[in-house]
A and B are shown apart, each in its own frame.
Chain A
């Protein structure tokens, strides 16, 4: 199985400051069709996960543009340009390239 490793696991951030979460995979996430199926999710307290970014860098509809995704191969990053109070929650990366699809352990973002 592809192991997804996120860092940090805990991320205290001051309001208005940037934040960055790293996600590394144990093998390349480039599919045979040429696409990279790496997605990012946000789970606010008491809510279902919500996808923010799909296929590395494509922002979902309604997602603020302060969220951005980048990376390639085995190394990916989610960035928040200026953290707001509503961004509190747990963030997960997920690979959908190879079954068994797998999530990272999650990064808990809190306001400092």
Chain B
């Protein structure tokens, strides 16, 4: 059974950093791109970015709203994707979802990040 489990969310002050993890099982992690999508409380869905598989260079793309502050990485040996979030702003408050691939076929349950003083 395929599983994606996000962790690392919580309450953080503006300007601080947080790293989210997406621990996966049930599929060949290294063959897949991994994405992050977020949802502010009561709002719609917003792409954060994604990382390609090593086959496609392991490169990343980001939304303009997070570029330069957020970094997506992957550890294929552990089947984990990461979202490093620096210089956090109150508007980054959201539930962050990890997704297998870029077509949105498989989602985790999300982890809530609250940025507040």
Chain A interface residues (CB < 8 Å from chain B): 37, 39, 41, 48-51, 54, 60, 92, 94, 96, 99-106
Contacts and interface: CB of A to CB of B under 8 A. Distances in A.
Contacts of A104: 44
B64 A100 contact: yes
Nearest to B108: A48
Interface of B: 44-47, 61, 63-64, 97, 102-105, 107-110
Q: Interface on chain B toward A: helix, strand, loop, or mixed SS?
A: loop
Question: Which 9 A-B pairs have CB atoms at the shortest separation, nearest pair first?
Answer: A103-B45, A48-B107, A101-B47, A106-B44, A51-B104, A99-B61, A51-B105, A48-B109, A105-B44
A48 B108 CA distance: 7
Given A92-B44, A100-B47, A105-B44, A49 B105 contact: no
Contacts of A39: 103-104
Given A96-B104, A101-B102, A49 B97 contact: yes
Contacts, number: 45
B102 A48 contact: no
Q: Interface on chain A toward B: helix, strand, loop, or mixed SS?
A: loop
A94 B107 contact: no
A94 B64 CA distance: 18
B45 A49 contact: yes
A56 to B, nearest CB: 12
Contacts of B97: 48-49
17 contacts: A41-B104, A48-B97, A48-B110, A51-B104, A54-B103, A92-B45, A94-B45, A96-B103, A99-B61, A100-B47, A100-B64, A101-B47, A101-B102, A103-B44, A103-B45, A105-B44, A106-B45
Nearest to B63: A100
A103 B107 CA distance: 15
Contacts of B104: 39, 41, 49, 51, 54, 94, 96
Contact of A103 (B46, B61, B103): B46
Contacts of B105: 51, 54, 60
A105 B40 CA distance: 13
Nearest to B43: A106
